[in-house]
Structure 1
Amino acid sequence: MRKQQWGLYIHIPFCRQKCFYCDFPSFAGRERYEADYTDALCRELLDQGVLYREKWGRPATIYMGGGTPSVLPVKLMERLLQMLCRIFALTENEDSPELEFTVECNPGTVDAEKLALLHTYGVNRLSFGVQTFDDGLLQAIGRIHTGRQAAETMQLARKAGFQNVSMDLMYGLPQETLAMLQHDLEAMVALKPEHISIYGLQLEAGTAFAKMQELGKLMLPDEETVEQMYDLMTSFLPAHGYARYEISNFAQPGYESRHNLSYWQDVPYLGVGAAAHSYLAGRRYANGTDIPSYIEAMRAGKSVRVEEEPADRAIAMEEFAFLALRTVRGLSREAFSKRFGVSLESVYSKTIEKMKQQDLLEEQDGFLRLTSLGMKYGNVVFEAFLLT
């Protein structure tokens, strides 16, 4: 019987091409490391995975992200999946809820053989990085696939037996219009994914787009158009059967991402791989990002995990509030009190009252949550919840 609900994250840092907006720890042109990296992952899984299975039982969720996990060659992917099956008995029934096992894939990096392999080894959820169906926009943001390939990849996934598929969409892209987003939304719901994640473009330091912006070479939609895009997607998706359950996530009933929800609900998770993060027993850890160093450390039986500076009480409260408020359900007064030994009101009474007066927060059944307006201006609320 599981002693503690927990999640497992596996980081695959390889990409065919680095997207122009991406600041994740992922790298193109590192194919020479793929085999050794897979070996290193298996070593870390044997070490840490077995440890936490013995402590807490099988994880409730597994998420393989990146990077682009689907760029791994079939033989390496199979080796990794075999190791996961060996440690966690993925394809065996246990006295526990069904495991949610997600693998991120990009159109153009999967085929029928690879999808069949994933399905055989217990993967039951796919997350496709589509971003847009417009070929011009795809090229402008550094994606390697076409809109047609995205649709074809969904067809392949269905034929392989996948009944839980998520797709990512972005808006506010260079020279994107409201009509282009309308087309993307229509094209996506026509494919009937069970889950849709949709993100506004953010310019992150160190990315190709950030450098282009500095040089005045990035033509982005104006603020009014981006706001119209937000309004469009938040009305369009619910009207087509996708309920919003988190600021950036929509799902058909019963298909919310359990792994992502665990991040927002203070559930511990183990991260393996270069640059992976862990949250265990209330402490946060990070693995080093350098791929060769990670490989060598695993060969030598050394840990690459470094504990991040423990958050003080105020920061821990802020983070607990931020994460919970991202969800439609919101922040539980009872959970806050249980976690910190004080009432939510004793810490945030003035903030809560101010945000209510601005129609950004509301109460329901012991939960404090963002209103529709609050979802739109979430950063304003999160900033108000800062204690330091």
Structure 2
Amino acid sequence: MDAKQWGVYVHIPFCRQKCFYCDFPSFAGRERYWEDYTGALCREIAVRGSYYRQLWGRPATIYLGGGTPSVLPAKLMAQLLTKLRQVFLADDKAEEFTVECNPGTVDEAYLAMLWEQGVNRLSFGVQSFDDELLRRIGRIHSGQQAAEAVEMAKKAGFTNLSLDLMYGLPGQTLAQLQASVKQALALSPKHISIYGLQLEEGTAFYRMQELGKLNLPEDEVAEAMYDYMTEYLPSQGYERYEISNFAQPGFASRHNLSYWQDVPYLGLGAAAHSYLDGQRWAALADLDHYMEAIRENRIPVEPEEPATAAIAMEEFCFLALRTARGISREKFRQKFGRELDDLYGTVMKELFAKKLLADDGRCIFLTSQGMKYGNLVFEKFLLDEQDF
């Protein structure tokens, strides 16, 4: 396998405070675990990481996500990054080495350490530049801190910076979103992700919604927010390469694209997922169980239930359709030994007629209207198991 065709994801399941919308496997108030978890993670990298490094060569991308990776103290983060470089990169560099950061957890020295350790891309979870809105959603930073964090990152040497923003937040207005987008653009990031609020079970917002205490924007306001960002960002030089992601030319996230383009990746750390040789694996999510497995020299992952042929095809289509390029007929044929048009021809004609799907001969892809109503398209790609 070409060494450039795989990636590494490292999960840091800690944060300073759990955001009210977050359902990711992350924990606040677990500082006592930080040192032991970092040690366990380094041991997993040494064992599992070394195996795949020898098997496949240098990964193209490494991505530290969470949680909030930057909540780790500098000493522990440096220990982790050193181990990642030793195992995966040796004297080389990753083409894309990303760390997610909360603006409220970094300073100049911390960002300089990340740069010196070989990290070359930062993703800042900003969400909004409106302080009242940030407080309302459980963020620990201010809009000013976000702007200062970006400037400190540039001073440290970073040029490849991504900012996350959110829309459809409780009490959010279109004017607030427009102001945040313009403040983000004033910082000249290479990449911007904008996510609509999803009410996930188990989150504080989900419970508030059940109690009737969540003041969400009206549907037409949320739609206006969506329309604004999808029209304004491209006009400012940010190409939409995936439903929620915009980048200046050449700065699309290679790591995230790998998820949508059927590229294998190794997940390391508690609750991390891997996709290796067509099989999905899930690491133990409980911190104590994860660290116990490492101490006992057990691999802390379990295979997920193998996907049926129908589910594998559906998943392939769902993920590919998220990208601007869409589903490659040739890649579908190579992977499944079936023609895309034989399975989905009728569905595709229906979606073409509704202007939700387009075709350039090699790929089928969502139109701008299709991206807006993606879920309506995705459900059409569900297959009947009886066909297999």
Q: State the TM-score, normalizing by the size of structure 1.
A: 0.97
Give me the whole-angstrom Cα distance separating, in 2, the residues matched to 1:211 and 1:203: 9
Give me the whole-angstrom Cα distance separating, in 2, the residues matched to 1:184 and 1:55: 45
Q: Deviations over 1:301-326 (max 9, x none)?
A: 11110000000000000000011110
Number of the residue aligned with 1:200? 196
1:130 aligns to what SS in structure 2?
strand
Give me the whole-angstrom Cα distance separating, in 2, the residues matched to 1:148 and 1:282: 44
Whether contact under 8 Å (1:91, 1:122) holds in the other structure is no
Which of 319, 328, 332 is 1:332 aligned to? 328
Number of the residue aligned with 2:291? 295
Give me the whole-angstrom Cα distance separating, in 2, the residues matched to 1:175 and 1:117: 38
Please state how far the C-alpha of 1:365 moved relative to its aligned partner.
4.0
Give me the whole-angstrom Cα distance separating, in 2, the residues matched to 1:108 and 1:44: 29
Give the direction of change, closer, same or farther, for the CA distance of 1:91–1:145 in structure 2 (3 Å limit).
farther
For 1:295, give the aligned amino acid.
M
Please state how far the C-alpha of 1:89 moved relative to its aligned partner.
2.7
Give me the whole-angstrom Cα distance separating, in 1, the residues matched to 2:2 and 2:207: 48
Please state how far the C-alpha of 1:2 moved relative to its aligned partner.
4.3
For 1:319, give the aligned amino acid.
E
Give me the whole-angstrom Cα distance separating, in 2, the residues matched to 1:154 and 1:277: 29
Which of 337, 342, 346 is 1:341 aligned to? 337
2:231 aligns to what SS in structure 1?
helix
1:188 aligns with 2:184: yes
Give me the whole-angstrom Cα distance separating, in 1, the residues matched to 2:135 and 2:104: 14
Number of the residue aligned with 1:71? 71
Give the direction of change, closer, same or farther, for the CA distance of 1:7–1:22 in structure 2 (3 Å limit).
same
Which of 351, 355, 366 is 1:355 aligned to? 351
Moved more, 84-93 or 162-171: 84-93
Q: Percent identity?
A: 64
For 2:294, give the aligned amino acid.
M
Whether contact under 8 Å (2:3, 2:58) holds in the other structure is no
Q: Deviations over 1:16-65 (max 9, x none)?
A: 00000000000000000000000000010011100001000011100000
For 2:183, give the aligned amino acid.
A
- 1:125-144 → structure 2 map (5 Å cutoff): 125-144=121-140
After superposing on structure 2, the runs of 4+ consecutive aligned residues of structure 1 that deviate more than 6 Å are none
Whether contact under 8 Å (2:70, 2:105) holds in the other structure is yes
Whether contact under 8 Å (2:4, 2:60) holds in the other structure is no
Number of the residue aligned with 1:226? 222
Which of 245, 250, 261 is 2:246 aligned to? 250
Number of the residue aligned with 1:19? 19
1:269 aligns with 2:265: yes
Point out where structure 1 has 5 or more consecutive residues left out of the alignment.
none
Give me the whole-angstrom Cα distance separating, in 2, the residues matched to 1:119 and 1:33: 25
Point out where structure 2 has 5 or more consecutive residues left out of the alignment.
none
1:108 aligns to what SS in structure 2?
helix
Please state how far the C-alpha of 1:91 moved relative to its aligned partner.
4.7
CA RMSD, Structure 1 to Structure 2 (Å): 1.1
Whether contact under 8 Å (2:266, 2:273) holds in the other structure is yes
Whether contact under 8 Å (1:90, 1:122) holds in the other structure is no
Number of the residue aligned with 1:123? 119
Q: How many residues align?
A: 384
